[in-house]
């Protein structure tokens, strides 16, 4: 039996994993991303850890899948990220192949997360699935009958960059009014900072649950779960826009299931209940749907499992 390697590079954490051909994880190594250290530091970490994993198995390792937390040029197998210095235009897939001596396939974390949930998580058994990751930004992957839908220019599924308003903060993509600028973890934190500036006496609990420093989306969600007034208000404001985006997905694609992943979705029932409340408000009496909305079964590991799925099928352009 062959094994495969999986790599997930995120802005906060990175993971390398060894999986068997049934998708069972055998070993996982995790680390914290040092953004200041740059690309070369990360490459050294990845190469060393992947070789360590290969050395710990007697079975052949046939391929490696790579999930990158940012924009990727899938056709060129290169990173196009403008968020992290040193990565733009880097042919990560080719570098890994040369470093490890095995075939490697690269995709962004949203597409990898979609494959992971479809094959091994909440999307198992579905014919069509949309995976949406809600963290610092919003990304998405579309899967139909086991295949990612990429579109003519490989930009299908950019749900976070659908303009839902004529106004709003400037988005990371350069546009204005994108769903990401209203409903991402970054948007949550921006609203919380505005509250902290205007009414600092009302955000003490949010600061405490965020570790005593800047308010984080995780800290705010924890406060909302406790019923904190400000946190609940921000959550509802954020989720109202997210529900609009989800309804667009349902009306256009009508998938079997929408799976929500990323850090914000870790709040589980709190997020889902709020979303369903707004979807009921937006509902049309003449347009019915049965699309299920669920949180990711694999949690933060969805992209890593998706990277393993890519390695199993060696899903990359030829």
- Please give the share of the chain, as a percent, with pLDDT higher than 70: 98
Q: Assess whether 66 and 183 both reside in one domain.
A: no
Q: Which of 17-21, 77-81, 164-168, 248-252 has the lowest mean pLDDT?
A: 164-168
Residue 154 is assigned to a structural domain of this protein: yes
Q: How many domains does the chain have?
A: 2
pLDDT confidence tier of residue 176, bands split at 50, 70 and 90: confident
pLDDT(107) > 90: yes
pLDDT at 3: 94
C-beta of residue 69 within 8 angstroms of C-beta of residue 9: yes
pLDDT at 315: 65
CATH code, 153: 3.30.420.40
Residue 268 is assigned to a structural domain of this protein: yes
pLDDT at 82: 60
pLDDT(179) > 80: yes
What mean pLDDT do residues 226-245 have? 94
Report residue 152 as tokens.
């003519």
Residue 121 is assigned to a structural domain of this protein: no
Q: Assess whether 133 and 100 both reside in one domain.
A: no
Place of tokens 């060393």: 48
pLDDT at 298: 95
Domain that holds residue 25: 3-115+301-313
pLDDT at 153: 85
Residue 193 is assigned to a structural domain of this protein: yes
Q: Assess whether 79 and 153 both reside in one domain.
A: no
Q: Assess whether 293 and 305 both reside in one domain.
A: no
Between 167 and 297, residue with greater pLDDT: 297
Q: Assess whether 194 and 141 both reside in one domain.
A: yes
Q: Assess whether 161 and 272 both reside in one domain.
A: yes
pLDDT at 88: 86
pLDDT at 175: 84
Rg of the chain taking only CA atoms, in angstroms = 20
Report residue 9 as tokens.
């590079």
pLDDT at 83: 61
Q: Assess whether 293 and 178 both reside in one domain.
A: yes
For the whole model, what pTM was predicted?
Answer: 0.92
CA distance 94 to 78: 8
Residue 318 is assigned to a structural domain of this protein: no
Q: Assess whether 151 and 239 both reside in one domain.
A: yes
What mean pLDDT do residues 302-315 have? 92
pLDDT(316) > 80: no
Report residue 106 as tokens.
């690269």
Q: Assess whether 134 and 267 both reside in one domain.
A: yes
Q: Assess whether 63 and 143 both reside in one domain.
A: no
pLDDT confidence tier of residue 288, bands split at 50, 70 and 90: very high
Residue 282 is assigned to a structural domain of this protein: yes
Residue 7 is assigned to a structural domain of this protein: yes
Q: Assess whether 67 and 213 both reside in one domain.
A: no
CA distance 209 to 159: 30
Residue 120 is assigned to a structural domain of this protein: no
Q: Assess whether 279 and 130 both reside in one domain.
A: yes
CB within 8 Å of 78: residues ≥ 6 apart: 72, 89, 90, 91, 92, 93, 94, 106
Alpha helices in 128-216 (DSSP H): 180-183, 185-198, 204-209
């Amino acid at each position: 039996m062959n094994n495969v390697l999986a790599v997930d590079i995120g802005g906060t954490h990175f993971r390398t994993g060894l999986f068997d051909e049934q998708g069972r994880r055998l070993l996982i190594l995790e680390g914290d991303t040092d953004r200041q250290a740059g690309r070369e530091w990360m490459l050294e970490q990845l190469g060393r850890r992947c070789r360590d994993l290969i050395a710990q198995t007697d079975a052949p390792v046939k391929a490696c899948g790579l999930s990158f937390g940012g924009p990727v040029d899938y056709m060129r197998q290169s990173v196009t990220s403008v968020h992290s210095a040193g990565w733009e235009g880097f042919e990560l897939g080719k570098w890994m192949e040369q470093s490890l001596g095995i075939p490697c396939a690269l995709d962004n974390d949203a597409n990898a997360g979609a494959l992971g949930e479809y094959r091994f998580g909440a999307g198992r058994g579905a014919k069509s699935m949309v995976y949406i990751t809600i963290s610092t930004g919003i990304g998405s992957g579309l899967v139909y009958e086991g295949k990612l839908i990429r579109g003519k220019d490989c930009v299908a599924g950019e749900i976070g960059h659908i303009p839902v308003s004529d106004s709003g903060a400037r988005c990371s993509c350069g546009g204005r009014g994108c769903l990401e600028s209203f409903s991402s973890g970054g948007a949550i934190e921006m609203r919380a900072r505005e509250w902290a500036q205007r009414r600092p006496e009302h955000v003490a609990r949010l600061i405490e649950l965020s570790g005593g420093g800047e308010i984080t989306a995780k800290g705010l969600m924890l406060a909302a779960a406790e019923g904190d007034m400000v946190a609940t208000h921000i959550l509802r404001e954020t989720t109202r826009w997210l529900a609009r985006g989800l309804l667009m997905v349902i009306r256009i694609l009508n998938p079997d299931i929408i799976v929500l992943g990323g850090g914000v979705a870790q709040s589980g029932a709190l997020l889902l209940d709020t979303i369903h409340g707004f979807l009921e408000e937006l509902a049309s009496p003449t347009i019915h749907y049965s699309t299920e909305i669920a949180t990711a079964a694999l949690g933060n590991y969805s992209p890593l499992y998706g990277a393993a799925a890519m390695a199993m099928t060696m899903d990359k352009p030829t």
